[in-house]
Amino acid sequence: MNDSKLRYGGVSRVLHWGMGLLILWQFLKFFDRINDGEHWVGENLVAWHISIGVLIGVLVVVRIIWALRNQGSRPPAPPPAMLGLLAKAGHLGLYAGMVLLPLTGIAIMVGNGYGLEAFGLQLVAPGTDIPWMATVGGALHSPVAWLLVLMVIGHVGAALWHGLVRKDGVLRRML
Ligand code: HEM
Ligand code: HEM
């Protein structure tokens, strides 16, 4: 269950792949740009955007606590040290995206007075506008989503390079 120097444990792997899937699902929101979302993807998959986004917000808190608890017992980066630092910075960037998107998404909803509902549960009642919140959320959510897309592409590329070119076990320890 816990991580070891040799591989990520079950909790880390379930969080990684489960959240990975949910985040790829969230990227389908970009399809709203086609015909204002009036198509099968928009009406069926993207309809869950806010619920899944809130779920990701909860899961990322669990994941950060788990990562901190397992600090020092996670698989180390293989040499050279420079690339290890790059990987650390990249992972930190992925975490930043996973924290900022739920926060800015919630800011859009609450800031515009829409309230917040996830999986049928009313978390925040509709109410009065909070203009600064709507402005900050509205300005940041989309750019951060684009940045996260770029980081995920780099991340998957790095994982494939480890698995197919360097064959150094870095991909395997997350499988
Ligand atoms: C990790 C979680 C999330 C990801 C990856 C994500 C991703 C995205 C993406 C890719 C878009 C389309 C942006 C564009 O077309 O330029 C978008 C738009 C939007 N998202 Fe999210 N989102 C997340 C969480 C949330 C949450 C929690 C909420 C609300 C509670 C939310 C509310 C919205 C809204 C209202 C829009 C449309 C407004 C806009 O395009 O600026 N999102 N999101
Ligand atoms: C679907 C394709 C993906 C593949 C093949 C993949 C592969 C991997 C691998 C092999 C590792 C271990 C790296 C190491 O030991 O240094 C890893 C770690 C990590 N991945 Fe992914 N990943 C994917 C998607 C994602 C997504 C969508 C996110 C989040 C946006 C993400 C976030 C992370 C983070 C933060 C780590 C560091 C370990 C942790 O704190 O959980 N990954 N990934």
Taking only the tens place, the pLDDT of each residue in 63-89 is 999 999 999 999 999 999 999 999 999
Separation of alpha carbons 135 and 138, rounded Å: 5
Å from CA of 106 to ligand 1 middle? 9
The reported pLDDT for the residue numbered 4 is: 97
Å from CA of 19 to ligand 1 middle? 15
pLDDT classification of 119: cutoffs 50, 70, 90: very high
pLDDT classification of 90: cutoffs 50, 70, 90: very high
Give the residue, out of 25, 155, 173, with the most ligand 2 atoms within 8 A of its beta carbon, to mutate for a pocket test: 155
Give the residue, out of 27, 31, 49, with the most ligand 1 atoms within 8 A of its beta carbon, to mutate for a pocket test: 49
Lookup: tokens for 39 = 């198509």
Mean pLDDT of 135-139: 98
Lookup: tokens for 129 = 């506008």
Mean pLDDT of 156-165: 97
Within a 13 Å sphere around the CA of 97, how many CA atoms are in the beta-carbon half?
23
- Return all residues near 74 (Cβ < 8 A) that are at least 6 apart: 3, 5, 8, 12, 67
Å from CA of 165 to ligand 1 middle? 35
pLDDT classification of 168: cutoffs 50, 70, 90: very high
The alpha carbon dihedral of 107, 109, 115, 121 has a sign of negative
Tell me if residue 116 falls in helix, strand or coil: strand
pLDDT classification of 35: cutoffs 50, 70, 90: very high
The reported pLDDT for the residue numbered 142 is: 98
Separation of alpha carbons 106 and 103, rounded Å: 5
CB of 46 closer than 6 A to ligand 1? no
Query: What is the residue-averaged pLDDT of the chain?
Result: 97
Separation of alpha carbons 85 and 26, rounded Å: 28
